[in-house]
Amino acid sequence: MLTLGAEHLRSIEIAAQAAFPEEACGLLVGHTENVDDIILSAVIGSDNVAPDARERRFEVDPGVRIKLEKDLRGGTERLVGHYHSHPDGPARPSAHDLEQAFEPDLIWLVVGVADGHANEVRAWKLAPGGAAFEPVALTVAALRKAQDT
C-alpha cells in the first residue's frame, strides 16, 4: 500500500495540469513501514527532459535524481518511486512504460489527464518477473500531526 498526503496528491495534479498537453514527471520520497506499506514524505517535481514526443514520453532529469539521492544519503527517507502523467490517457502504465521499467523497487504513480484536468491517480509496480505492472493500493491521508513526524 502507498499512503500519500492530500498535499502530495495536489502537487502532482497541479504539475500534471501545468505540463498538459505534455507529460509531467517527478520523484517520490518516502519510507517503508510494516514490510510493504510505503509512506510518502515528499514529491519532487522535475522537468520532462525526454528529447522529443513529450506528449507521450517522459524522462526525469537525471540531475534532479542524483541531487535527491545525495540529499537522502544517510537518512531514513529514500527514493520510493516516480510519477508521470498521461495527457488524454488513462492512469495506468502504457506498453512503452513497461519497456522502460527496470527498477522493480520503484512505485509508478500515473496521473490520467483529460482536457487539461487531472482526473485519476493510480499506483503501480512491476509484478514479479517484470512482464507486467500490478496495481498498488493508494490511500490519501490528511496532513500528519506534528507529533507523528
**Of 64, 94, 138, 141, which one interacts with Zn ion (CB under 5 A)?**
94
Query: Is residue 120 within the footprint of Zn ion (CB under 5 A)?
Result: no
Residue among 9 and 113 whose Cβ is closer to Zn ion: 113
| Enclosing H/E stretch for 115 | none
Quote the CA–CA distance of 79 and 105 in Å, as a whole number. Answer: 9
Contact criterion met (CB below 8 Å) for 147 and 135? no
Closest distance of CB 94 from Zn ion, Å? 5
Specify the length of the chain in residues. 149
Residues contacting Zn ion: total by CB under 5 A: 2
Among positions 37, 55, 61, 97, the unique one binding Zn ion when judged by CB under 5 A: 97
Look up cell 500490478; give the residue. 134
Q: Provide the residue type at 107 as one letter.
A: I
Nearest approach, Cβ of residue 106 and Zn ion (Å): 14
Could you list the residues that contact Zn ion (CB under 5 A)? 94, 97
